[in-house]
Structure 1
Amino acid sequence: MPPRNLGPYEVLSVIGRGGIGTVYRARHRESGNAVAVKLLGPPPACDPAAARRLAREFEALRGLHHPNVVRVHEAGVHEGYSFLAMELVEGLDLRSYLSPMLDDAPGGGDAPCTGAHPLPSTGGCGCDPGAWSDEPESQSLLTPAEGDPVAGADAIRAFAALMDEPDTGPGPEPSCHEPAEGGRIGPVLAEAAPLSPALLERLNRRGRLARLHDAVLQVCEGLAYVHARGLVHRDLKPSNIMVDDRRWVRLMDFGLVKLASDAASLTQHGKVVGTYRYMAPEQARGEPVDHRADLYSLGVILFELLCGRPPFMARLAPELWNEIIALPPPAVLAMNPGAPTRLALLANRLLAKDPRERFQTAEEIAAELRR
Structure 2
Amino acid sequence: MERLEIPGYQIKGVLGKGAMSTVYLAVQRSLNRPVALKVLAPKLVGDSTFHKRFIKEGLIVAKLTHPNIVTIYDIDNYKDYYYMAMEHLEARTLKDRIQDGLTPEQAKTYLCQIARALGYAHQNNCIHRDIKPANILFRDKETAVLSDFGIAKNLEDKTQLTAVGWRVGTPNYMSPEQALGQPLDARCDLYSLGILFYEMLTGKRPYQGRDAMETALMHVQAPLPELPQSLDHFQPIINRLLEKRPKARCSSAEELLNLIETVKPKPQSTAFSIKHWLPWVIATVVLIAVVIAHSWLNQR
TM-score, normalised to structure 2, is 0.80
Give 2:243's aligned residue: 352
Q: Distance in 2 between matches of 1:41 and 1:317?
A: 24
Give 1:53's aligned residue: 53
2:248 aligned with 1:339? no
Please identify, of 41-50 and 318-327, the stretch whose mean Cα deviation from structure 2 is larger: 41-50
Q: Deviations over 1:335-358 (max 9, x none)?
A: x111151x2320122111100111
Quick one: which amino acid aligns to residue 256 of structure 2? I
Instruction: Check 1:261–1:94 CA distance in 2 against 1; reply closer, same or farther (3 A cut).
Output: same
Q: Distance in 1 between matches of 2:3 and 2:165?
A: 39
CA contact (8 A) 1:298 1:350 kept: yes
Give 1:280's aligned residue: 175
Q: CA deviation at 1:246?
A: 3.4
Q: CA deviation at 1:20?
A: 3.0
Q: CA deviation at 1:54?
A: 1.4
Q: CA deviation at 1:225?
A: 0.5
Report the 3-state secondary structure (helix = DSSP H, G, I; strand = E; otherwise coil) of the residue aligned with 1:303: helix
2:111 aligned with 1:220? no
Q: Distance in 2 between matches of 1:4 and 1:83?
A: 11
Give 1:62's aligned residue: 62
2:19 aligned with 1:19? yes
Quick one: which amino acid aligns to residue 96 of structure 1? D
Quick one: which amino acid aligns to residue 272 of structure 1? R
Give 2:75's aligned residue: 75
CA contact (8 A) 1:276 1:284 kept: yes
Q: CA deviation at 1:329?
A: 2.7
Decide which of 316, 336, 341 is 2:211's aligned counterpart. 316
Give 1:209's aligned residue: 104
Instruction: Check 1:340–1:93 CA distance in 2 against 1; reply closer, same or farther (3 A cut).
Output: farther
Q: CA deviation at 1:359?
A: 0.7
Q: CA deviation at 1:268?
A: 4.7
Quote the RMSD (CA, aligned, Å): 2.2
Q: Distance in 1 between matches of 2:54 and 2:115?
A: 24
2:252 aligned with 1:361? yes
Structure 1: which 5+ runs fail to align?
Answer: 102-202
Q: Distance in 1 between matches of 2:42 and 2:95?
A: 33
Structure 1 stretches of 4+ moved >6 Å:
none
Give 1:244's aligned residue: 139
Instruction: Check 1:78–1:263 CA distance in 2 against 1; reply closer, same or farther (3 A cut).
Output: closer
Give 1:306's aligned residue: 201
Give 1:259's aligned residue: 154
Q: CA deviation at 1:323?
A: 1.4
Q: CA deviation at 1:266?
A: 8.6
Q: CA deviation at 1:298?
A: 0.3
CA contact (8 A) 1:267 1:288 kept: no
Of all paired residues, the percent bearing the same amino acid is: 34
Structure with larger Rg: 2
CA contact (8 A) 1:259 1:266 kept: no
Q: Distance in 1 between matches of 2:70 and 2:161?
A: 22
